[in-house]
Amino acid sequence: MLGKTANGLFWMYRYLERAENTSRFVETGQRMALTRLGSSEGEWRSMMQTAGVLGGFEATGEEMSKDAALDWMLRSKANASSVLMSIEGARQNARLVRTALTHEVWEAMNGCYMRARELLSRKVNERDLPKVLGEIRQGTALVRGATHGTMLRNDIYNFARIGTFLERADNTARILDTKYYVLLPSVMSVGSSIDNVQWETILRSVSARGGFRLVYGNQYNPEDIAYFLILDGRMPRSLAFCVGKIRDNINHLAKDYGTRPDSCAKVAKLTDEYLSRDIEAIIDQGLHQYIQTVLSLLHDLGSQIEIDYRFYE
């Protein structure tokens, strides 16, 4: 396989994952703004901070409002992580690697892009938001489904999966990075309504409210939430789950190609040293610093993969 193709697959699936993540943030933002008594601008600001797109928005000088926030996250061309730009990025990369994709995957990707472009061709009214987001997520889910159902389990699939899980791990880690303080034990934590809302936001942002309830019942507890998002191998957006998948795929590649490049050691270090600890130990030693270390190791792993598999040279 061409190095360029591996790169294109990696980014196609990263962007696809990013489109889903951003749409989930929008959904959460709207939900929180609707159910809060305080200012909806404040909720949106907090949501955009969690999504990591607040800085970019503030740089435009535009005033914060519900509509401005929606537009920035859904369809702004200036926001590289907006739903529309992410889907365009995924489709552009899909065109680049057209020969590596099955007919079904390509058509699903192209169809998803065409529909998203149509739905997001003008400002989205809040009333239409659930329908629009629903359709877009259906589109991305179709690409994912076609990928699982029709692609050979070879290096093509492995690069697609590595892109997916690296983006997802990065997304979860960023949420933890901006919201870590609400997961710290505090004297008056349990039951405070402010905390409850914050925890709910976090869980919604990773589509994990239902999953969490199933495992822990109705009682939110910051340590449980931290464990769920970082270490719980059952939770498909936890750091441990995502990095575990990356490790599997990197090992498949190593077996296929008959070489063990540096990325193998790097992913092993992440799982063995950082994702096999107790949650108590992580919190005792400093949750924020831990998350930042993991983020930087993830970034480093991504760069190593680029080098190992000759994405650019």
Partner 1 sequence: MDKNQIFDEMWGREESLRPPYGLFKEWFDGEEPARLRAKQREAEDLFRLTGITFNVYGRAEAEERLIPFDIVPRIISGLEWQRLSKGIEQRVRAINAFLHDIYHGQEIIKAGRLPERMIAGNDAFLPQMVGVKPPGGVYTHIVGIDLVRTDDNQFYVLEDNARTPSGVSYMLENRETMLQMFPELFARNRVQRVENYPSDLRSSLSACAPSMAGSSPTVAVLTPGIYNSAYFEHAFLADQMGVELVEGHDLRVIDGRVAMRTTEGYKPIDVLYRRVDDDFLDPLNFNPDSALGVPGIMDVYRAGGITIANAPGTGIADDKAIYSYMPDIVEFYTGEKALLENVPTWRCSEPDSLAYVLDNLSDLVVKEVHGSGGYGMLIGPTASKKEIAEFRKKLEAKPNNYIAQPTLALSTVPVFSQKGLSPRHVDLRPFVLVSPDKINITPGGLTRVALKKGSLVVNSSQGGGTKDTWVLED
Contact residues: partner 1, CB under 8 A: 1-6, 92, 95-96, 98-99, 106-107, 110-111, 114, 155, 257, 259, 309-310, 313
Q: How far is the CB of 218 from partner 1 (least distance, A)?
A: 46
Sequential DSSP letters for 18-46: HHHHHHHHHHHHHHHHHH-SS-HHHHHHH
Pick between residue 6 and residue 64 the one whose CB is nearest to partner 1: 6
Q: How far is the CB of 98 from partner 1 (least distance, A)?
A: 4
Pick between residue 11 and residue 25 the one whose CB is nearest to partner 1: 11
Q: How far apart are CA 24 and CA 32, in angstroms?
A: 12
Q: How far is the CB of 71 from partner 1 (least distance, A)?
A: 20
Q: How far is the CB of 279 from partner 1 (least distance, A)?
A: 37
Pick between residue 299 and residue 310 the one whose CB is nearest to partner 1: 310
Q: How far is the CB of 232 from partner 1 (least distance, A)?
A: 33
Q: How far is the CB of 159 from partner 1 (least distance, A)?
A: 8
Pick between residue 31 and residue 98 the one whose CB is nearest to partner 1: 98
Question: Helix H segments across 206-286?
Answer: 209-216, 222-230, 239-257, 262-269, 279-285
Pick between residue 76 and residue 238 the one whose CB is nearest to partner 1: 76
Alpha carbon 66 to its chain centroid, in Å, reads 23
**If you search the block for the tokens 């880690």, which residue do you land on?**
173
Taking a C-beta distance cutoff of 8 angstroms, is the pair 136, 210 a contact?
A: no
Pick between residue 96 and residue 215 the one whose CB is nearest to partner 1: 96
Measuring CA to CA, how many Å separate 43 from each of 47, 64, 208, 286? 6, 11, 20, 27
Torsions phi, psi for 66 (to 5 deg): -55, -45
Rg (CA), the chain: 20
